[in-house]
A = this chain, B = another copy of it.
């Protein structure tokens, strides 16, 4: 009998599994709680108003539309019953499976400081990026308005926690936004004076790269006016201030780039998890002790030939997805052993700013303009969907020439009035959703 294969997660890993099975005309159901696949590596550009959300998000249905054997299910998996082999969605729908592929990725992890999560957005979803973009632009608007110099300098201080690729990319991009894009647009403040603090607990940035590249990134960021604070641990994060090494720093906004944990669904498999909440998988990506469940991408702990865990990178997820999809497509009987996955490192990049990137692949180490161009070409090429490639490349060309940014939209932070067209949610999200004095907040206020 043909096993019912269910893939949870439409990220880089899950999508590749579905494509490979769809290509082989094998029936598969892919479930995601968003309707779109997100090109995560460029999410920081949406957060900093360089790209608009749809540029890096593609409907999963559209991507898989050409594979008739693939069912796309837009839903949120609430429960995994590994005994009955049934997934229960948040709205009660049940989805039985014979083989489960868990590819639900990761999410920001605040070292169990849940109060931090409320005030310090991470960067994992489109909503995260829009929240960051709105708050970032809003803080400049408030700075322009205030007459109190102390409050003004707070409103022009942005802190970023974590000096990995995401932290470095956010810091560099915000620096360019303030130094160039916004420079001419204000009258009472000088956006180029924005204080950007990059807080890293370790003794160098980009710990995953060679020391000389870390050093290059630090120097470039500092030349962009970023305060790089190494060996600095954040002790507290509040709405308008952070505490670093005992020192309290008033800030407009704090962004979280210090760590992620595997999706909480992993905990429902009833197997042991590592400190990052990841599921240990064997060389064939099968979950230890669960012959009917596979895990891949950020949610999986895969040890390479040296016993080192593979990093949570798009290329790892993509390769694991391709590998598993093809292996399952080839396998004729569910008992059969699957080939071992071997990761081929295509090299890592981090963008520091315009003309400034680092690239490392084995012994090959690049930095500066060349690494930046290589990165831009590769990423434009990798973007899902031709239309996006065209648009994104034009936007980049345009921004390259002008420093302009096209997506400087401040969204209204509010619950939408009225019920979505779902029997599951009859009552409207109440207008009281807004803070009582929300009307005092431009961008939230409605004359309606």
A-to-B contact residues, CB < 8 Å: 33-36, 52-55, 57, 59, 61-62, 65-66, 68, 71-78, 89-93, 104, 107, 117-121, 125-127, 131, 134-135, 137-139, 141-142, 144-146, 151, 155, 182, 184-187, 239-240, 252-253, 263-265, 385-388, 390-391, 394-395, 398, 404, 406-430, 433-448
Contact = CB atoms under 8 A, between A and B. Distances in A.
Contacts of A72: 185, 187
A240 B390 contact: no
B406 A387 contact: yes
A447 B76 contact: yes
Given A421-B139, A448-B107, A91 B387 contact: no
A398 B390 contact: yes
Given A425-B435, A438-B425, A444 B419 contact: no
A185 to B, nearest CB: 4
Contacts of A423: 142, 146, 151, 240
A93 B444 CA distance: 16
27 contacts: A33-B442, A33-B447, A35-B443, A52-B54, A53-B409, A54-B406, A59-B408, A62-B185, A71-B187, A74-B144, A75-B145, A76-B447, A92-B440, A107-B447, A118-B418, A120-B418, A121-B418, A125-B412, A127-B411, A131-B417, A386-B398, A387-B394, A388-B406, A390-B398, A414-B429, A419-B435, A429-B435
A431 to B, nearest CB: 8
A76 B439 contact: yes
What 6 pairs between A and B have smallest CB-CB spacing? A433-B433, A76-B445, A61-B185, A424-B440, A52-B54, A54-B407
A59 to B, nearest CB: 4
A203 to B, nearest CB: 30
Most buried by B among A90, A155, A386, A428: A90
A144 B31 CA distance: 13
Contact of A391 (B34, B77, B406): B406
A409 B141 contact: no
Given A36-B409, A184-B66, A430-B433, A118 B417 contact: yes
Q: How many copies does the complex hold?
A: 2
B387 A76 contact: no
Given A118-B417, A145-B93, A442-B91, A447 B52 contact: no
Nearest to A408: B59
B91 A441 contact: yes
B90 A411 contact: no
Contacts of A76: 439, 442, 445-447
A119 B408 contact: no
Given A391-B395, A434-B415, A444 B425 contact: yes
Contacts of A409: 35-36, 53-54, 57, 126
Most buried by B among A74, A398, A433, A442: A442
Given A57-B409, A66-B184, A142-B421, 5 more contacts: A77-B447, A119-B428, A135-B420, A415-B434, A420-B441
Contacts of A125: 412
Given A406-B385, A428-B119, A443-B34, A141 B74 contact: yes
Contact of A447 (B36, B104, B420, B428): B104
Nearest to A68: B187
B445 A33 contact: yes
A60 B68 CA distance: 46
Contact of A119 (B127, B263, B419, B448): B419
Given A184-B65, A398-B387, A444 B417 contact: no
A422 B435 CA distance: 12
A444 to B, nearest CB: 7
Nearest to A252: B421
Contact of A441 (B155, B424, B438): B424
B415 A415 contact: yes
A404 B73 CA distance: 21
A440 B90 contact: yes
Nearest to A36: B409
Contact of A420 (B388, B413, B433): B413
Contact of A418 (B119, B137, B145, B436): B119
